[in-house]
Structure 1
Amino acid sequence: MKAWIGNQAVSRRTVFGRILAFFLSLILLVGTPMVAWADVPESFRIPPWPGHEAGASPVVQTSDQSALRLLVDTDLGVDDAAALIWLLSQHRYPLELLGVVTVAGNTTVENATNNVLLLLSLLERNDIPVVMGAHKPSNVLLSSTGKLIHGPDGLWFLGAQNPQEVDAVDRKAARFYCDMARTEPGAVVLALGPLTNLAQALRRCPADMANLGRLVVLGGAKFGGNTTPVSEYNFWQDPAAAAEVLQSGLPITLVPMDAFGQFSLSMADVASLQQDGVPAIQFLAPALQAYLGVQLQSGSAAVVPDPVAAMVALDPSLATLHSALVKVLDRPEVARGQSLIALSFAERITLIADDRELSQIADQVFSDPGFDYLAAVGAILQREPDNALVAMDVDAAALYQMFMDDLSQSVSASGAAEHEPSPIQLFLPSVQSR
């Protein structure tokens, strides 16, 4: 028996086989995201796309290797400060901090620069270069809403009360990145704020920027948002820069809200650090208390994002990483800054091809006996390969223990010789009484 499809006669067996293959493909397309969504309330663990192993981590230096060379790009607010203090206080991972570049985001770039200079001075690390970067996003206005979370100066008045020599700071961030990419090939960039500086550097010296190692980016979200219902703050603040960096071809490890949202601190944690923490975290404690206080609408702890990205930058094994195709909506609308993170086969296909193209493929399945459906789909996937490793889950317990231990004076000082009080401790009585 034969049936007619278009102008061609094919056997019923052939028709049945093609229909079966088509519906099996539909099951693959529809079933995978359903499995992913079913897991969302529990742990955000998304089944990896076939061909990519979940948890595959980039190579990172360990204690028996040379120090990790790191550049930090930050809009230094309270959680950025906690991350920077952890980076320069921990001793478990060899680290060489090559420089800190500031950007507008949580606060103005001038405030962010002042805050970085303040912390480096208190940490006795004035040897680390500081460069002032972009004072506004690429093509939208700088939002002032960060004041509600970080205070008017980015550190709940600690920065304003301790002004630094901001005017003397180098302001050529793009040139600094280009120079570092040439002189420090393989260096890792930890981006804790909007990606404005990196986008500008990529436009200035794309070939040189390719010499860098990983970009560890704090930003985006697969499920939900923390600024709008669908957008995370860093990507929302400069969506055009986020899109540009993601399209650059550089190796990116993305730490989205799905991952950093699993790390939180309570008022009791901050009180413990204020009592027994290293001097720098004691200095920051009043700002941390204010930061938590404006967010504790329910529950006893609030998310502190930036330390998560810092810890993953030094130890990717702390996160479950998935290869993904990531895009960002950069239009100034309700969905501005929304990140689209495609993990499954179905999500990738629909993120690359529009419905017109996919409908044509579906029509050809039933009209052309010689049509190679898998080849057509494969050609679509090859047009836009994955552009990031995305941390969809982290070892929250390990992150918390590491953060508290590394910033605890009793733990970090165990076995160490006693020393004279650092300059930070001279600030503590006046700061804590304010």
Structure 2
Amino acid sequence: MAAKPIIIDCDPGADDAIALFLALAPTASLDVLGITTVAGNVPLGLTQRNARQICELAGRSDLPIYAGCPRPLLRPLLTAEEVHGKTGLDGITLPEPQMPLQKSHAVHFLIQTLMESSGEITLATLGPLTNLAVAIIQQPAICTRIKEIVVMGGAITQGNVTPSAEFNFYVDPHAAQVVCTAGIPLTLINLDVTHQAIATPTRMAAIRALNTPISTATLGLLQHYGAFDMQRYGTSGPFLHDPCVIAYLLQPELFTCRPAYIEIETTSELTIGRTVVDRWQSTDRAPNANVALSINAEGFYQLLTRSLAEA
């Protein structure tokens, strides 16, 4: 089977880094055409640096990396250093990246690459959707050139920044609304699902036993990043959000999904960023997304551990 062509839009971030390890594993059936970065977990200057560091550690310094939007469309930037640390990759120490940052803006790369394609490219988005929203606004024709967008974002029930909103959609709710209502095939890997993907002590031990540079980095990231989740939620380990997007691209059978209409709240100060999911078709609006409801967490961690072993 031919490798699936994808572009990864991200804001590394610990879980973004682990998602990149999974996507770049030698046996992953993904053809990563490029990586675009956006401000989110940490500011843009760090997300583009972190992406280059991770690619170098994964042995993929050949990949083009593009810096994108430094702030949301309308709101001030909110970051998550309390979770990911000041560098975004706290818990590990990596050398300064040697691979170049591409001169073109991420939005230009998205538009050019998609307009030159025949509709076969999937977008894996792991951070705020600012880059993609700006690309859609600048060149609406790209909407018919995207095979699918697989988004880590939103929540059906509780958020993780406010009671209503998940981080990526809260940071740039207007961008999320642009993307989710653009008519592009979209799968939503939301917080209700990623909160099922807990890195338990047993799963962490399996990663530790690999004893490779990438598994050691993964463990260091999980240990630092996980401390926040474990204290806040009382779980036995951290959640892995962004790698679920890559897992869906590799093994969609790990997830159960159903079609639903979704829309993002952009006006209420109380619930801004909330993902309104019409799961039971209580309105007459046609579904515009494939919404994930559950994940086979054990299968997910088997895939992750196997991929880290191969890296």
Please give the range of the TM-score, normalised by the shorter of the 2 chains: over 0.9
Aligned residue runs from structure 1 range 28-427, under 5 A: 65-89=1-25, 91=27, 93-144=28-79, 146-156=80-90, 158=92, 162-164=95-97, 168-184=101-117, 185-267=119-201, 269-297=203-231, 298-331=234-267, 333-346=269-282, 349=283, 381=284, 384-408=285-309, 412=310
Q: What displacement does 1:183 show?
A: 2.5
Q: Name the amino acid aligned to 1:260.
A: T
Deviates more, 1:244-253 or 1:262-271: 262-271
Q: 1:208 to 1:345 in 2, by over 3 A?
A: closer
Quote the Cα distance in structure 1 between the aligned partners of 2:248 and 2:210: 25
Quote the Cα distance in structure 1 between the aligned partners of 2:73 and 2:250: 29
Q: 1:158 to 1:110 in 2, by over 3 A?
A: farther
Q: What displacement does 1:310 show?
A: 1.1
Q: What displacement does 1:194 show?
A: 0.4
- SS state at 1:331 partner: coil
Q: Name the amino acid aligned to 2:66.
A: V
Structure 2: tracts of 5 or more residues without a match: none
**Number of residue pairs matched by the alignment:** 308
Q: What displacement does 1:140 show?
A: 0.8
So what's the TM-score if we normalise by structure 1? 0.67
- SS state at 1:300 partner: coil
Quote the Cα distance in structure 2 between the aligned partners of 1:105 and 1:242: 13
Q: Deviations over 1:47-73 (max 9, x none)?
A: xxxxxxxxxxxxxxxxxx211001000
| Percent identity over paired residues | 30
- SS state at 1:96 partner: strand
Quote the Cα distance in structure 2 between the aligned partners of 1:335 and 1:179: 35
- SS state at 2:157 partner: coil
Quote the Cα distance in structure 2 between the aligned partners of 1:78 and 1:332: 30
Q: Deviations over 1:268-309 (max 9, x none)?
A: 543542442442231343222111122212232221111111
Q: Name the amino acid aligned to 2:177.
A: A
Q: Deviations over 1:15-61 (max 9, x none)?
A: xxxxxxxxxxxxxxxxxxxxxxxxxxxxxxxxxxxxxxxxxxxxxxx
Quote the Cα distance in structure 1 between the aligned partners of 2:248 and 2:273: 23
Q: 1:267 to 1:291 in 2, by over 3 A?
A: farther
In the other structure, the counterpart of 1:3 is none
Quote the Cα distance in structure 2 between the aligned partners of 1:261 and 1:112: 24
Quote the Cα distance in structure 1 between the aligned partners of 2:66 and 2:57: 18
Structure 1: tracts of 5 or more residues without a match: 1-64, 350-380, 414-434
When Rg is computed on C-alpha atoms for both structures, the one with the higher figure is 1
Q: Deviations over 1:81-112 (max 9, x none)?
A: 11110111252x42211000000110111101
Q: Name the amino acid aligned to 2:96.
A: P
Quote the Cα distance in structure 2 between the aligned partners of 1:253 and 1:165: 35
Choose between structure 1 and 2: higher helix proportion. Answer: 1
Q: 1:122 to 1:302 in 2, by over 3 A?
A: closer
**Contact 1:260–1:309 (8 Å) recurs in 2:** no
Q: What displacement does 1:206 show?
A: 1.0
- SS state at 2:146 partner: coil
Q: 1:395 to 1:311 in 2, by over 3 A?
A: same
Quote the Cα distance in structure 1 between the aligned partners of 2:100 and 2:254: 39
Q: Deviations over 1:152-207 (max 9, x none)?
A: 11001646x53336884334111111111123331000000000000000011111
Q: 1:206 to 1:94 in 2, by over 3 A?
A: same
Q: Name the amino acid aligned to 1:320.
A: T
Quote the Cα distance in structure 1 between the aligned partners of 2:301 and 2:4: 22
Q: Deviations over 1:127-173 (max 9, x none)?
A: 111010111011111113x10000011001646x5333688433411
Quote the Cα distance in structure 2 between the aligned partners of 1:140 and 1:253: 25
- SS state at 1:309 partner: helix
Quote the Cα distance in structure 2 between the aligned partners of 1:265 and 1:80: 15
Quote the Cα distance in structure 2 between the aligned partners of 1:77 and 1:198: 19
CA RMSD between the two structures: 1.9
